[in-house]
Amino acid sequence: MWCREFVAGIMLAGTLGACAAIDSSVAPRYDTVSRSLAEARNESILLNIVRASHDFYNALLRPVDLYVLSYFIRQGYSRELLFWLFLDSTEIKFGAHGLVLGYQFNPPYDYGCPEKDPRKRCFREWNELATITGLSVDEHIEKGEGGKNASHARFCFDKVLALRGQRAMELTSPGRAKYLIDKYVDPGALNQLSPTCGSPWPKQSDPEAAATDTLKFNVGALEFSLVTRSTYGIYQFLGKLLRQSRGGVDFEVPAWVRPEDVRPELSTVQEDHKLLNVVFDRSAGSCFAETQFLDGIYCVPEDGSSNTKRIFGLLAQLLALQTTASDLAITPTVHTVQ
């Protein structure tokens, strides 16, 4: 009897030991799988950007709305970076003058600097101005009858974000914030921007205003109409930047366009000025992500690519946000390993 119990004890200990051995190997394998999935995701995003630089990519076409923009602002993404990615064009009506001008950064055809603008304003400067004046998004839940609530969103100006943007720009590009304010903003207008974020909402709100591809707001006598990009449009935009950085543009830059307005650069991100950093070879050292396409190897350098890495994370989330239940398989595929 004692012998049988002793043998059973040894067998049980062996079983528990086997379980312990299996458990000890789970963490490294999980880490390996997790890293592999992250690398695959980054390579997929890079490949889509490269495809877009060759005019070959089929993606989601739904324009980004204010709710999505608000989602990324709350996550702490640079608003200047978000404006570059999400805003396709800006149309401005200049009050009593009746002058209407459009600003769109679409290289090599348009660098966002209309020739007819007497003050030589450009798309990049409007993005910077939006950043240092605190342009943001405010959301409001309107309670309805029968427990049906309506969600509304609008552009607004946040004084805390304005100060934060001005300080960041002063650290990164000393003197540029003052240059922009002197050039674009009338004296005293910084204290009159409206609506301010958190201020009372009008009694009647348009529930469709935040879900349209044309977003409007007024700043004094100026009337702004902004057209947002879709996920497809963001990939196309990044593809154009990549093509531009490789020298694949044979068009001459118009004489009235300043050199600093030819390529997107961020004035409020101290560690990295480049909006997109993708090189055509691996001479830069290790790659955060790399992929091979028809004409060679593309690499996102591990160093000096902070904004590019943020864009990768943003695109991964954006694709998830824009994917509906109908896009997913109802029954998952299960593989049994014996």
Q: 7 in a domain, yes or no?
A: no
Helix (H) or strand (E) holding 290: strand 287-293
What pTM, to 2 d.p., does this model score?
Answer: 0.77
pLDDT given at position 333: 45
Is residue 176's pLDDT more than 80? yes
**Residue 178 covered by a domain:** yes
| 264: pLDDT strictly greater than 60 | yes
State how far the Cα of 113 lies from the Cα of 78, in Å rounded to an integer.
23
Q: Between residues 47 and 194, which one has the greater pLDDT?
A: 194
Q: pLDDT category, 3, cuts 50, 70, 90?
A: very low
270, pLDDT greater than 60: yes
The answer to whether residue 270 is domain-embedded is: yes
Quote the pLDDT of residue 282.
Answer: 66
The pLDDT of residue 81 is: 95
User: Which residue has 């091979």 as its token pair?
Assistant: 292
Residue 171 pLDDT more than 90?
Answer: yes
Is 11 part of any domain? no
Q: Assess if residue 222 is contained within a domain.
A: yes
Q: How far are the Cα atoms of 81, 140, 172, 204 from residue 201, in angstroms, in the given order?
A: 28, 8, 36, 8
Highest mean pLDDT, choosing among 138-142, 206-210, 282-286: 138-142
Using pLDDT thresholds of 50, 70 and 90, give the confidence band for residue 204. low
pLDDT in tens, 235-251: 899 999 988 887 755 56
For the cut 50, the answer to whether the pLDDT of residue 327 exceeds it is: no
Closest of 112, 111, 156 to residue 130, by C-alpha? 156
Which residues lie closer than 8 Å to 194 by C-beta, 6 or more apart? 157
pLDDT tier at 293, thresholds 50, 70, 90? confident
Residue 334 in tokens: 């299960």
Say if 5 falls within a structural domain. Answer: no
Q: Is the pLDDT of residue 13 over 60?
A: no
Return the higher-pLDDT residue of 191 and 17: 191
**pLDDT for residue 1 is more than 70:** no
**pLDDT computed for residue 35 by the predictor:** 63
Q: Report the number of distinct structural domains present in the chain.
A: 1
What is the domain range of residue 246? Answer: 52-321
Kindly tell me if the per-residue pLDDT of 123 is higher than 90: yes
Band of residue 206 on the pLDDT scale cut at 50, 70, 90? low
More confident residue, 201 or 314: 314
Q: Is 328 inside a domain boundary?
A: no
Cα dihedral: 262, 157, 139, 76 (round 10): 60
Residue 29 lies in a domain: no
DSSP assigned state of 78 = -
Residue 191 has pLDDT above 80, yes or no: no
| pLDDT given at position 216 | 77
Tell me the two tokens of residue 335: 């593989």
- Mean of per-residue pLDDT scores for the chain: 77
Buried b (16+ CB within 10 A) or exposed e, 86-114: bbbbbbbeeeeeeeeeebbbebeebbbbb
Per-residue model confidence (pLDDT) at position 334: 43
